[in-house]
Amino acid sequence: MRILLAGGAGYIGSHTALALLKAGHDVVIVDNYCNSSPEAVRRVEELAGRSVEVFEADVRNPSAVLKSMTDKPVDGVIHFAGLKAVGESVRMPLAYYRNNIDTTLTLLECMGQAGIKNIVFSSSATVYGEEAPVPYLESMPRGRCSNPYGWTKSMMEQILEDAALADHELSVVLLRYFNPVGAHESGRIGEDPLGTPNNLMPYISQVAVGRRDLLTVFGGDYPTPDGTCRRDYIHVMDLAEGHVKAVEYGAGRTGVDVFNLGAGVPYSVLQMIRAFEAASGVSVKYVIGDRRAGDLPEFWADAKKASRVLGWQTSRTLEDMCRDAWNWQKNNPMGYPKS
Ligand code: NAD
Ligand code: UDP
């Protein structure tokens, strides 16, 4: 199949592009590089030994998106393009609603014009909201989100569901990611956050490589086994392979399907630090600080549906996640070269 990746130059998109190429699919990317680098795509091509077609454009631009869909016929779309920083979304809610909702509407409208009937969407465990019991199950309703980023994901799920209700030929697969971490085992592609990382694993890696002095653990008094928050971390290559299964699955059907993509096992912040130290042989300096507003004590996936229906499950361990995150960071201490 020929698959269009909107936002495909980013962290998860670049790893998914590689997994798709390795599975024998063709890849076309539309990205404006607002949070990524063309170097990521170049390295994907180098690792796969195959080329990727790239349209440098805003996914809110209908003529550019339509061109990317019709230059050569596209069989499916994976929609990664969005802004994703929770704290920033609280400060700049309109930018988040404008970018995330408009990219989704534009993609759906252009798919309608191009006759493409298969879309996979990057959603998040955040849509389960603040009250859901753990582990999260796909059959639970969406809940109240604690920030505008989360609401954009919830609203985009609704928009996609409504689009599928109106077009009986459309297939929508909503993938609810848990906590993606790590990098491709080559150390050539990985997570390259702009500025100070918001997420735990890139923060740990940057402390280990000497870019930052110390990690602040957000809260040590949660009702969890060691007092720090617990999350369901998933290796980005396991996640990428989940997308290959999802877009192949979507090609043969219609309607809406929802899948949790997580490992189904929670680890605490302190467990992550210790695992990273063991995998890297480098010590990570940290202090226990205040809780971060909006953080839930713990959540993890019930990941059985993806296993049963997609035939997908995680195969990489916590040690693999830490080793590969470190391999990427130590080989690329400042991330991708900046032009
Ligand atoms: P990322 O920022 O690395 O990738 C997003 C890509 O989209 C970037 O390359 C960016 O340049 C591009 N983009 C954004 N707006 C665009 C626009 N208007 N036009 C063209 N390109 C645009 O983020 P990621 O971690 O790879 O996440 C991918 C998707 O998965 C996002 O939608 C994110 O919300 C979702 N998600 C991520 C996580 C996570 O922890 N990384 C968790 C749950 C869900
Ligand atoms: N965290 C932390 N220090 C940091 C970044 C994150 O203690 O500098 C914790 C955070 O409180 C959460 C976990 O690490 O419990 C994962 O946070 P992240 O932002 O990576 O993902 P989230 O689960 O919030 O989407």
List pLDDT tens digits, range 61-113: 999 999 999 999 999 999 999 999 999 999 999 999 999 999 999 999 999 99
| Residues 208, 274 contacting (CB under 8 angstroms) | no
Residue among 77, 81, 78, 98 nearest 89 (CA): 98
What amino acid is encoded at 203 in this protein?
Answer: Y
Q: Which atom of ligand 1 is nearest to the CA of 126?
A: 43
Instruction: Based on the residue annotation, tell me whether 149 is a catalytic residue of this protein.
Output: yes
Question: What is the rounded CA–CA span in Å between residue 138 and residue 304?
Answer: 10
**Per-residue DSSP letter, 127:** G
pTM: 0.99
Q: How large a percentage of the chain has pLDDT more than 90?
A: 98
Q: Between the CA atoms of 271, 277, 280 and 282, what dihedral angle is there, to the nearest 10 degrees? A: 160
CB under 8 A, 24+ apart: contacts of 279-286: 279/319, 279/322, 279/323, 279/326, 280/208, 280/322, 280/323, 280/326, 280/330, 282/208, 282/326, 284/204, 284/207, 284/208, 284/215, 285/207, 285/213, 285/214, 285/215, 286/207, 286/214, 286/215, 286/216, 286/217
Cα 133 to ligand 2 centre (Å) = 19
179 within ligand 2 shell (Cβ under 6 A): yes
Predicted confidence band of residue 235 (pLDDT cuts 50, 70, 90): very high
169 burial level (CB within 10 Å; 0-12, 13-18, 19+)? exposed
Predicted confidence band of residue 48 (pLDDT cuts 50, 70, 90): very high
Question: What is the rounded CA–CA span in Å between residue 113 and residue 209?
Answer: 48
Report, as an integer, the average pLDDT of 274-290: 98
For residue 339, pLDDT over 80 is answered with: no
308 burial level (CB within 10 Å; 0-12, 13-18, 19+)? exposed
Best of 80, 97, 200 to mutate for ligand 1, by most ligand atoms within 8 A of CB?
80
242 burial level (CB within 10 Å; 0-12, 13-18, 19+)? buried
For residue 231, pLDDT over 80 is answered with: yes
Q: How large a percentage of the chain has pLDDT more than 70?
A: 100
Predicted confidence band of residue 252 (pLDDT cuts 50, 70, 90): confident
Average pLDDT score over the chain: 97
Question: Closest ligand to 267 CA?
Answer: 2
Predicted confidence band of residue 156 (pLDDT cuts 50, 70, 90): very high
For residue 330, pLDDT over 90 is answered with: yes
| 236-251 helix and 11-22 helix, angle to the nearest 10 degrees | 60
CB contact set of 133 (below 8 Å; sequence gap of 6+):
140
For residue 338, pLDDT over 90 is answered with: no
| Residues 56, 6 contacting (CB under 8 angstroms) | no
CA distances from 130 to 146, 147, 290, 322 (A): 7, 11, 19, 28
